[in-house]
Chain A
Amino acid sequence: DGGITQSPKYLFRKEGQNVTLSCEQNLNHDAMYWYRQDPGQGLRLIYYSQIVNDFQKGDIAEGYSVSREKKESFPLTVTSAQKNPTAFYLCASSPGPFRTVSYNEQFFGPGTRLTVL
């Protein structure tokens, strides 16, 4: 059953703590992305990776870190430096710019809702 999974679905964190959100895909996609969604706002890009062992900052990377050691996995760490971490986090994957495909369509995971107490 191919797809993209995120865990956990809900996450609670105390102020000052780092927390890591998991994202795994078995679609054989090269590219993976992390987005943040706040109520009434569109998706904002945090980080993206178009190939293993490489990643780029998005529009709101401050206070976040990522790694891409495996093609299937793209974990996101929300650090204590992130001032307003409470949000809905979405992971996505796509074939990537190096594939010959008709559409470089993004597929999204179910999301993780992070709440800072």
Chain B
Amino acid sequence: KNQVEQSPQSLIILEGKNCTLQCNYTVSPFSNLRWYKQDTGRGPVSLTIMTFSENTKSNGRYTATLDADTKQSSLHITASQLSDSASYICVVSAWGGSYIPTFGRGTSLIVHP
């Protein structure tokens, strides 16, 4: 069964600090992995998307890495800001079948001043 596990479940950091969120998956055959940011009460917004051949991708202060061999991804946030407080969701898609992606439960990040 396709699964996506994220850790930690929640994280509290001080403004200006860096942090790293983890995503492990068992989705096969792998097509792509996406990280979304979801502010409270809003729809998720895509941060990065990576295919098998891409092992790192940046979007401003967000950098995602992918290790397709170990089936792990991480999202690194640099110099955190109060506006980074949100839920970060890892989503993995497989080739073929119904093409329905598998969602992780998300990591809730709180950035304190």
Contact = CB atoms under 8 A, between A and B. Distances in A.
B100 A108 contact: no
A110 B106 CA distance: 18
B32 interface: yes
Give the interface size bracket for B toward A. 20 to 34
Given A42-B89, A42-B106, A56 B43 contact: no
Size band of the interface chain A makes with B = 20 to 34
A105 B43 contact: no
A41 B43 contact: no
A110 B49 contact: no
Contacts of B98: 48, 50, 56, 97
Would you list the 10 A-B pairs with minimal beta carbon distance, nearest first?
A: A108-B43, A42-B105, A97-B99, A43-B103, A42-B103, A108-B44, A110-B43, A111-B43, A103-B49, A109-B43
Interface of B: 31-32, 34, 36, 41-46, 49, 51, 89, 91, 93, 98-101, 103-106
